[in-house]
Each structure stands twice: as C-alpha cells, then as structure tokens.
Amino acid sequence: MRVIIADDHALFREGLKSLLRLQEGVEVVAEVARAVDLAKTLDLVPCDILLLDLQMERSTLVDIEALTERTAIVIVTASENIMDGLEALRSGARGLVFKLFSVETLMTAMREVTAGHVWLPPSLVDEITARLRHPSETTLTPRELAVIRYVGLGMRDADVAAKLGIVEGTVKTHLNNIFQKLNLRSRSELILYAVRMGIVSGTSQNKD
C-alpha cells in the first residue's frame, strides 16, 4: 500500500511514519502538512490511501469530495464528534480511525479500505445504528412530520403546500429545518428516511 500522511502536526506525522514503516507491505510515499497542498501532492505522488486529518490549518471536509476519485481516504482524527465522521463519509471517505487507536487497528482499517470496503470504529457504527433506529423525532413538529409524509409519498412542494393550506415558501422552510434536524442532505434521503421509519410505506409513493 502506497500511503500519504496528511496532518499538520509534525510529531504525529513522524511517529505514524515510523510505525507504518514497520508494517509489511506499506510504503509511506509522502507527507502533507497543509490542506492546501493536498491536490498538488496527489498530482506528484499518486497513492493507494490518503491518511487525512480532519483539522489542519482549516477543515479538510471541503477537500474530501474532490480527492475521493483519486485515492481512498481514511480519516485519522482526534475528534470523536459523530457529525464530523458522518460528513466525511458522505463526502466520500472510506474509513475513519481515531488517533487513540493502535497501529494494528489502523492497519485493519487500511486493509479493509483497499479491499473495497468501508471501515468504521465499532462505537461509531453503534451510534449510527442507534440514530437510524431511534431518531430524535421528538424534535420534529407535527407540521414537519406532515411535510415528511407528503414528501415521502413523492409529492412536489406545491402539492404539499396545497395539502397543508400553506404557501410553497413555507414548505421549503420546513424542509430546510427537517434536513438540519435529521442530518439529511437531499430529498431522496428524506424519502428513504420516511420509508425506513414507517412514516410512509415503500409502495405508497405518489398514491395520495
């Protein structure tokens, strides 16, 4: 595995590089200290895996989507914020490893990613699963739940507005609030959510 380490802490880069050099089948081909140099480095030194910190001189979440077509990205981060992890995965990262983990765990993640799989810490998998099974619907208002139901049925904003007796702009405001509360990014994700949570059935779209 040809690996690039991207982290703004020199001591961390040196330590990780030393540990990876002891692993069979791993070659550290480059280091990156600044997020702004990520694309240029990949142009000069292709790699199989980019080990990327989420916070360098700025957040690297903005870089992941652009880089994911060029290499497999494994996030190596001190942050255990689930939202950061989810956002990185949505942007195309293939793995996420916390810095408190052992090099053996990192190697497991790297092997899984190079095999075409996604690797996440068990604690994060449990948290994501719990959120999918028991989302915080108590934060949704009755009107927002109604909007979710009608959108889940495949209705357009204008039709939803007519059903609820409100203007189309208000529907859009409700949708923006719903996306924020449920950490969703698109209408298709909201439809899947509505089906998964039983708000609508998977066969009922466009029937109301």
d(CA 161, CA 168): 5
Can you tell me the distance from the alpha carbon of 73 to that of 48, in angstroms, rounded to the nearest whole number? 9
* pLDDT tens sequence across 136-152: 544 778 888 889 999 98
Helices 168-182 and 187-196, axial angle in degrees (round to 10): 70
pLDDT grade for 130, boundaries at 50, 70 and 90: low
Check if 2-131 and 137-196 are the same fold: no
Q: For position 133, what pLDDT does the model report?
A: 58
CA-CA-CA-CA dihedral for 96, 38, 15, 61, to nearest 10: -30
Q: Indicate the domain borders of the chain.
A: 2-131, 137-196
93-104 per-position pLDDT tens digit: 999 999 999 999
Does residue 123 register a pLDDT over 80?
Answer: no
List the CATH code of the domain at 137-196: 1.10.10.10
Per the CATH hierarchy, to which homologous superfamily does domain 2-131 belong? Answer: Response regulator (3.40.50.2300)
pTM above 0.85, yes or no: no
Tell me the average pLDDT of the chain. 86
Three-class secondary structure of residue 84 per DSSP:
helix
* pLDDT for res 127: 66
**Helix H or strand E encompassing 195:** helix 187-196
Sheet containing strand 95-98, edge to edge, reads: 27-32, 2-6, 49-52, 72-77, 95-98
Strand partners, 72: 49
Q: Is the pLDDT of residue 36 over 90?
A: yes
